[in-house]
Amino acid sequence: MSFTIYPGETVALVGPSGGGKSSIVALIEHFYNPNSGNVFIDGMPVSSYDHEFIHQKVMLIFRFPSDAFFLHFSEITSIEIVFGRDSVRYNILYGMDNGDEETMIRAAKMANVHDFVMETENQYDTNCGEKGVQMSG
């Protein structure tokens, strides 16, 4: 598989559970290195960037049920949803300078995850697990 995403583009990764959507996201976010091939950002290997830089440039929106991920690449990303080991709340507000409850809920609704989150036992305080593994399908 090979593809190029340009600044300002939004890309949807759609497919069944186990189809590789999470793996593609993990490679772009540099959670691990590819077994073969390379991932480049602006012509440089993704491994040459620190995670904070990548998280500032890539907006990741999970859509539940987990049949789609939306990635938006831009020069400046104001909202990031990067699922890590902390709570859903923390991960939605991560990277926002002035994130509050209203902003968090609005972002979750835009990503179509609000209803899913509200169905979990601890709602926005639900722990996502290591690198989001508890939230991925």
Please give the tally of structural domains in the chain: 1
Q: Does the residue 102 lie in any domain?
A: yes
**The pair of three-digit structure tokens given for residue 102, joined into one six-digit string:** 């209203």
The secondary element (H helix, E strand) that includes residue 90 is helix 88-93
Per residue in 27-36, pLDDT (tens digit) is: 788 887 776 6
Identify whether 34 is preceded by a cis peptide bond (ω within 30 of 0): no
Per residue in 105-125, pLDDT (tens digit) is: 887 787 677 888 898 888 888
Q: Does the residue 69 lie in any domain?
A: yes
Query: How many CA atoms lie within 13 Å of 6's alpha carbon, on the beta-carbon side?
Result: 0
Per residue in 4-62, pLDDT (tens digit) is: 777 777 777 766 566 667 777 777 888 877 766 777 777 777 888 887 777 777 766 66
Which of the two residues, 72 and 38, has the higher pLDDT score?
Answer: 38
| Residue ranges making up the domain that contains 42 | 10-132
Q: Does the residue 3 lie in any domain?
A: no
Rounded to two decimals, what is the model's pTM? 0.47
Q: Does the residue 82 lie in any domain?
A: yes
